[in-house]
Structure 1
Amino acid sequence: MTGGLEVKCEVAGKWFLVRGYLPLPGEYTLIKEFPGGVTVNLFAVIPERLFSVLSSRLKEDYAAILFRIYDQYQLTTFGMERDVVIDLIVDYMEQKDQFFEQALADEIWEESLDTPAGSRDRAAFILRKLESTGWLAGEVYSNYVQYISLPDYAIKILDVLDKIRRHRQVEYQGFVYATYTLLHAPEADRQGNLALEKAYEQTEQLINGLKSLNHNIKRYIERVLAEKEPREILKIHFQDYMTEIIDQSYHRLKTSDNVSRYRPKIVARLNQWYGDPVWVDRAANLEVQRERYPDLSAARQGIYRSLDYIRQAYTGLDDLLEEIDRRNARYANASFQQLKYILNSSRDTEGQLTEILKFLAEQRTSGGKRPDEQLPAGLSGLFGFFTQEFLSTDSLYTGREAVRHHQPQEVHELETVDPARRQERLRHFQQRLERRMTREKINAWIMGKLAGREEIYARELGIAEMDDFIKLVYASAYSRSRRVSYRVERKDRPRVTAAGGSFEFKDLRLKRK
């Protein structure tokens, strides 16, 4: 037939409008997309050779150049002049060594059978290659000046890659609170569709972030188990893991952005809307007016799907949080056991077995051998390791015994305590209480050191003996408490020494709250 046909279709819960010709199936043209759009082949959206530059010999250099252009592009309104982009590439090339120049010359010769001598000519080759692969796009404006811009897909991809290379962690603080605020805002009943849409996005980011946190803890477990130096294990634990996982993510998840603070009210509001057909119809009408759904029935289904997703996400969040807790505990145990294994120098049975295992591990991996290769001929028959599937009375392992309940004997006569001994015990107990490092004592010590100042550095605290050093450790540990009047900045602080080099610590900055 020659006449056109417009059809509203639903594919995997996503609506779109197409115009085609009978008999169907046949050629069709997309007229309008509804929520989610149409799922198409990935390389129908991005160029087929887009990732070729990131898999070439100069992939690190191409990536660095793209990030430089991306950083500069964010500061512009429309785009960058072509000469400015050439200057950026030339500036990068001038910082490289002769190996880069030779590799670039070989690539230019392979692709164009040319050997440009000037740096701007070589930079122009790189720019043309980034344009041909689809990372950059050129356009001539009305002033006859050629500008370079980044396509929309390139901006999204570079944004994700930039976050990965900078190790940017998801900030969980605010996701739950933002969802609660959106659902309970005064305008939520009148513009419920917008409130629900934004709450859906916040919930999706929260769930994806928690999954990433769970995976990151697993990655740290693998890093710790692969390390052989105690210093590196301690660095991973007290610097990398504490900064990236505990301070930025896990601590906030357990305190300021705790799910339990807002979850009951979030679920209650979702249940209220779910059981209110008037509110659902009003929100569905607004979605149809925004042309996000083709009709009222499809809009209602979309509203109910969003309500279900958020409600199920929050009601089932405990399983994910428990898995994060278990993995965090598993990381702490793995870090301790690996450190204990490396530092074990005792001569008991455990220490001797540790030395034997270390020797066998060195024999397997020395000389470029793979870990799965056989031991040398003289050692292969000495040991037979196998997995013990069950325990019996003949097993070497001594099983744990159940807790035995103590049966106290009846007291017939009361013993008298010597008054002098009582006073001595009380005095000893009083001294222990005075030496105890409480939050109140540490807070008073820091505030006394501040003496009217707004901030003070650790090097100015007068660390002269062990008690002073212990107070500094407690001051850092108690800084997150609400019961102290100061806070501590640890990030990027240099290390200093005190008492003639007897103590070494970070030069923490302690500020008055």
Structure 2
Amino acid sequence: MNLFDIVGSDFFKALTGKYQNIFMDCLEIIYSTYRTELSYGVDREIIIAQLTNYFEQSSSDDIQFEEEQDVFRDARSKANEFLRKLKGYGWIEYEFDNSGCAKIIMPNHSISVLQTCIAISEQNEMEYQSEVSAIFSLLTNENLLDRPYSQVIKPVYDRTIVLFTELKKLNTSIRKYIDELTDGQTPEELMEHFFSYNENIGSKAYHRMKTNDNISRFRNTIENRLREILADEQVMQRAIAGYQIIEGENDKIDAHNCVIGIITSIIDYFNSYDEIEQEIVKKHSKYLRSAVNRAKLAFLNTNNLEGKLATVLRNLVTAFENEAENGVFQDVPDDYCRIFNMFPQSFISGESLKTIGINKRIDEVEEIFSAPILSEEELKKRRDMLKKKNEHRFSKSKITEYVMLLLKDRSEIDAAEISINSKRDMIRLIFICIYGRDKRSSFIIIPKDNRISSKGFTFKDFTIKKRVK
């Protein structure tokens, strides 16, 4: 059936145009009003009072729709007009009781669409543990096999679809954060994305998937129980009969094939879990590497060669962008061209395909060059330089040593207590945050909601605690 045969051709007009946010607020008010009712129906005057209160508090401007000449200024007239529009678009309907009082009801399709919109805006994360535990419990409960299709197979299939849909959404969320990171970001924005990622993705769904909510712990039992159902003739006969009753299938052979297809689909979903998990882990690692590399690039020391080159390139990009915005962008100046004229350029021609001639002239072998032996003083100097360079590396052992020195006899410390006096201090704080999420690390981090600003750097605070073995 066509979607618009159900919802009507004007249904989505409420979600477009300049008043789309007001329409959505009104729908949420109507929907929330139903929570204390026994059904999705409530007196029209109660809804009008709720919407009037909304428009009084919002102090919105005058309302005038494009296709109409009327202008609505007071709150009650706005409430009545938006209610009329929602009825015309098909979001609500009127129902009259025996006393003639009008009740406002929401059709099934309106409730479904609105619930989806609310779920998208709230961005609630699934607790994978609850879903996989429910699937495990349904399959291991022998008392439910008297009606296997309605009590086991169908609910397990529905929950499996929801579970793996959420896993795919997690995969997409990680990719979204990676895409944001690849855009040109200032150091402050880079830090914002990094801590936002760890709070919204890295420290929640990803780490639950790898620890408490690890589906692999239940997968073997789930797959074995499904195969046992397939192999049990009596259970399968009851499942086929249940499928015919619930799904309205008269042909027993078709019902048999559908039941087998549903069970094998569930098994296939759990078989594909390793592939989904590997892709999520790979993207998660890719994000962390990108964050660290970009942090290093953003905070490059301008006194070394890499820092100077980065500064030159950033200035050139800024100059080009300014010229383009002012409409005077022309050929690149000769001074800029000379900067990049490091190597001579050649081009491919027809003669490029010729075979290179072999030089038959035999030259005398040059005397073998022997490198000069370094003096003890020079050797010691180079060793000291190498040692100093290694001391400045942010290796896991050095970060762990630094954290243990901070904690000393304490069990925990907030990041806000750590002095941030330079870019190097900020990068070290990032590495503490990264290494603290490794389950093999000697310490853990716990994100907090408050923001810390110090020496021009802004980041979300977190607590560092010693890991209890």
Q: Is the shorter-chain TM-score for this pair beyond 0.5, marking a shared fold?
A: yes
Decide whether the 8 Å contact of 1:225 with 1:338 is kept in 2: no
Contiguous gaps of at least 5 residues in structure 2: 346-396, 420-427
Give matches, 1:113-192, under 5 Å.
113-192=69-148
Q: Provide the C-alpha distance between the structure 2 equivalents of 1:377 and 1:436, rounded to a whole number of angstroms.
A: 53
More moved, 347-356 vs 276-285: 347-356
- Write the deviation string for residues 60-108 of structure 1: whole angstroms up to 9, x where unpaired: 22222222222222333232221222222222323445xx524x23x1x
Q: Is 1:101 matched with 2:55?
A: no
Q: Provide the C-alpha distance between the structure 1 equivalents of 2:214 and 2:462, rounded to a whole number of angstroms.
A: 31
2:193 is matched with: 236
Question: Given the alignment, which residue of 2, 11, 34 partners 1:73?
Answer: 34
Percent of aligned positions with the same letter in both sequences? Answer: 23
Q: Provide the C-alpha distance between the structure 2 equivalents of 1:214 and 1:436, rounded to a whole number of angstroms.
A: 30
Decide whether the 8 Å contact of 1:439 with 1:483 is kept in 2: no
Q: Is 1:208 matched with 2:170?
A: no
Give matches, 1:235-314, under 5 Å.
235-238=192-195, 240-290=196-246, 292-314=248-270
1:91 is matched with: 53
Give matches, 1:43-54, under 5 Å.
43-54=4-15
- Write the deviation string for residues 153-174 of structure 1: whole angstroms up to 9, x where unpaired: 1111111111111222232222
Change (3 A) 1:273 1:250: same
Change (3 A) 1:440 1:306: farther
2:67 aligned counterpart, secondary structure: helix
2:290 is matched with: 334
Which of structures 1 and 2 has the larger relative contact order (alpha carbons within 8 angstroms, sep 6+)?
2
1:222 is matched with: 179
Decide whether the 8 Å contact of 1:82 with 1:147 is kept in 2: yes
1:359 is matched with: 315
Change (3 A) 1:228 1:493: closer
Query: What amino acid is aligned across from residue 4 of structure 2 in structure 1?
Result: F
Change (3 A) 1:321 1:480: closer
Give matches, 1:373-388, under 5 Å.
376-379=330-333, 382=337, 383=340
Change (3 A) 1:51 1:328: same
Instruction: Report the CA distance between 1:324 and its aligned residue.
Output: 0.7
1:173 aligned counterpart, secondary structure: helix
Q: Provide the C-alpha distance between the structure 2 equivalents of 1:53 and 1:328, rounded to a whole number of angstroms.
A: 38
1:417 is matched with: none
Change (3 A) 1:327 1:280: same
Contiguous gaps of at least 5 residues in structure 1: 1-39, 387-432, 450-456, 465-469, 498-503
Query: What amino acid is aligned across from residue 59 of structure 1 in structure 2?
Result: Q
Decide whether the 8 Å contact of 1:177 with 1:257 is kept in 2: no
Decide whether the 8 Å contact of 1:496 with 1:506 is kept in 2: no
- Write the deviation string for residues 419-453 of structure 1: whole angstroms up to 9, x where unpaired: xxxxxxxxxxxxxx9x9879999999667x9xxxx
Change (3 A) 1:439 1:336: closer
Q: How many residues get paired?
A: 406
TM value normalised by structure 1:
0.66
Decide whether the 8 Å contact of 2:448 with 2:460 is kept in 1: no
- Write the deviation string for residues 181-239 of structure 1: whole angstroms up to 9, x where unpaired: 2111122432221211111111111211111111101111122233522222222222x
TM value normalised by structure 2:
0.72
Instruction: Report the CA distance between 1:347 and its aligned residue.
Output: 4.0
2:36 aligned counterpart, secondary structure: coil
Instruction: Report the CA distance between 1:118 and its aligned residue.
Output: 3.4
Q: Provide the C-alpha distance between the structure 1 equivalents of 2:266 and 2:407, rounded to a whole number of angstroms.
A: 43
- Write the deviation string for residues 474-499 of structure 1: whole angstroms up to 9, x where unpaired: 99998998999xx99755457699xx
Give matches, 1:47-66, under 5 Å.
47-66=8-27
Change (3 A) 1:458 1:80: farther
Q: Provide the C-alpha distance between the structure 1 equivalents of 2:406 and 2:296, rounded to a whole number of angstroms.
A: 32
Q: Provide the C-alpha distance between the structure 1 equivalents of 2:292 and 2:85, rounded to a whole number of angstroms.
A: 50
Q: Provide the C-alpha distance between the structure 1 equivalents of 2:321 and 2:453, rounded to a whole number of angstroms.
A: 39
Q: Provide the C-alpha distance between the structure 2 equivalents of 1:327 and 1:374, rounded to a whole number of angstroms.
A: 42
